[in-house]
Amino acid sequence: MLSTMFGIGVFLALLGFSAHLLLNLWVISTVDDIAQRAAIEVAVSGSDDSGLPNAESRALDHARALLGRWAPKVSLEFEDDPTGGNVILHVRSSTLRLMPTFGRFDPGPPPLDRRIVVHRELPAP
């Protein structure tokens, strides 16, 4: 009886860890894809420097709509490129918490924190 209970406990622990890991990877890849699309949308908008804030605002609104209820947990910020030839989008997202942390051991991937750089398609002179 004891060995059966131990086996079921180990199985449930592994199942919980697997679900935690897979759902976090799904959240990270979804947020990363939406952020990549937002950066590309601004880069190919053809806006000059004066129209760039409008294109960024539209892209962020669209990205937040796609994120749905996860949008408050995601930070999307466009950064200025000193050369003016790139669109830089800084993305931060928290992870999904299904399992508790065990001291310094945090199961699953780290929170998303990256910069997406896409070359701008500038209007013809």
Determine the distance from the C-alpha atom of residue 115 to the mean position of all C-alpha atoms in its chain, rounded to a whole number.
10
Is 33 within a domain?
yes
Domain, as residue range, for 41: 2-119
- The band of 40, judged by pLDDT with boundaries at 50, 70 and 90, is very high
Is 9 within a domain?
yes
60-88 tens-digit pLDDT: 999 999 999 999 999 999 999 888 789 99
Q: Which of 7-11, 45-49, 78-82, 109-113 has the lowest mean pLDDT?
A: 45-49
Is 71 within a domain?
yes
13-36 tens-digit pLDDT: 899 888 888 999 999 999 999 999
Joined tokens for residue 33: 């894809």
Determine the distance from the C-alpha atom of residue 88 to the mean position of all C-alpha atoms in its chain, rounded to a whole number.
14
Is 125 within a domain?
no
Q: Which helix (H) or strand (E) holds 86?
A: strand 86-93
Count of structural domains within the chain? 1
